[in-house]
Structure 1
Amino acid sequence: MKVIGLTGGIGSGKSTVSRFLAELGAKVINADKIGHKLFQPDTEAWREVVVAFGRGILATDGSIDRKKLGAIVFADPEALAKLNRIMHPRIREAVQAQLERYRSQGVAVAVVEAPLLVEAEWTSLVDEVWVTTASEATILKRLKKRAGLSEPESRARIRSQLASEERIKQADVVIDTDCSLDELKAKVRELWQRLKPGI
């Protein structure tokens, strides 16, 4: 099984690329979605996060309000590091377990979509690292449209992540998503064709 690690900064087009790869037949593991599941009330991760950041981060139904938590961690690098220490080992374990399941099912290509693939040192889980990039103007526009984030909020999130240049140093493939959806789909299809001889 070929394992692609798909990463990139917030708003860089990871999810769109991963959707195109899924349409072509890849099995996608989304690390963020795993993280959200681990946040379910009364799980071990939920308890640790609530102890670390206080009950003020909870919504009325007892779930973790990701917007409230985000306001704390994206403004404070130490708080973000604390959250990552709680979540990263658990997410990695869940990703590894899913990869093993896919291997045993005979899956040809699996994609691990993870914004923090490089920072969390998960590159050993994958055969190739693919990095999505876009201009800052494009990223700011996407974040405003997608998440309703103001420019200062968007910039705080961008600053909280590894610089794109640092990710690119680890990349086997760099995908510039500053293009139309059709052009991006064509780029992804071309990369898929390159993968096929080895699967």
Structure 2
Amino acid sequence: MSRPLAVAITGGIGAGKSTTLECFRRHGAATVSSDEIVHHLLATDPDVKRALVERLGEEVLGADDAPDRERIAVRVFKDPEALDFLEKLLHPLVSREYMAWREQLGTLPDPPAVCVTEVPLLFEVGADERFDKVVVITAPTKLREARRGGRKDDRESRLIPDREKVTRADFSYVNTGTPDELDAWVAGVMTTLAGAGPAPKTSRLPRDALSPGRRSST
């Protein structure tokens, strides 16, 4: 059994990880998002539901009696201990589901060459060791806040700085350009992963982010 090359996308909140994941899908990679996996767990795993109700209360259940992501978010937003509980509950399960998905891809008659997922806390939880390659997506703080509707996010203070993530990545991109520019960069990464071309152009990371639309690889 030959499994696909495993690639993780990570980066700050609002940097464009999900958009990048979609670009990889368009260019032939098998993809799954952490959000998809979490949604599946909340909808189908009775142990997850039980743990959430015991720790956070029945207020996190929706009209269908299943855990509701928006209600959970409201409950943990200003409660660091509750957020820590949620992450410790879900991260191992998300990893388990991802690994099962990845191994299943390898059993297909014609398995994909590359599989990609986005992992928001990749370096923070030490999950980078599970992947063959890491892609870091960055953007200036003000732009990321604008993408979130002008809202700041207290979780940012708990994340490893972008500059350090870039030094640990195999590929990095500053997502300040157009969607087409991002898509073209991803196409170049896919070509490199297939061994058919050079790595995307290298750029330096200034104080807050690279210059608009620039790329880097390490």
* Bin of the TM-score, shorter chain as denominator length: 0.7 to 0.9
Is 1:32 the equivalent of 2:30?
no
Distance 2:95 2:105 in 1: 15
Cα offset for 1:62?
1.4
In structure 2, runs of 5+ residues without a counterpart are: 197-218
- Find the aligned partners of 2:63 and 2:107 in 1 and give their Cα distance: 41
CA gap 1:76/1:166 in 2 versus in 1, 3 angstroms: farther
3-state secondary structure, aligned to 1:51: helix
> Larger Cα Rg: Structure 1 or Structure 2?
2
Do 1:32 and 1:114's aligned partners in 2 also have CA atoms closer than 8 Å?
no
* Structure having greater relative contact order (Cα 8 Å, sep ≥ 6): 1
**Which segments of 5 or more consecutive residues in structure 1 lack a partner in the other structure?**
145-149
Question: Which residue number in structure 2 is paired with residue 121 of structure 1?
Answer: 126
Instruction: Provide the TM-score with structure 1 as the length reference.
Output: 0.87
Kept in 2: contact 1:12–1:133 (CA 8 A): yes
The alignment covers a number of residue pairs equal to 191
> 2:85 & 2:172 partners in 1: Cα distance?
30
Question: Taking structure 1 as reference, are residues 87 and 59 closer, same or farther at Cα in structure 2, changes over 3 Å only?
Answer: same
After TM superposition, give the deviation of residue 178 of structure 1 in Å. 0.8
1:88 to 91, 108, 112: 91
Q: Is the 8 A contact 1:129 1:171 kept in 2?
A: yes
Tell me whether 1:13 sits opposite 2:11 in the alignment.
no
Name the residue aligned to 2:5: 2
Q: Is the 8 A contact 1:41 1:64 kept in 2?
A: no
Moved over 6 A (4+): none
Matched with 1:164 is 162
* Identical-residue share of aligned pairs (%): 31
Q: RMSD across aligned C-alpha pairs, in angstroms?
A: 1.9
Return the structure number with greater helix share. Answer: 1
Deviation, 1:101, is 0.6
Task: State the partner residue of 1:130.
Answer: 135
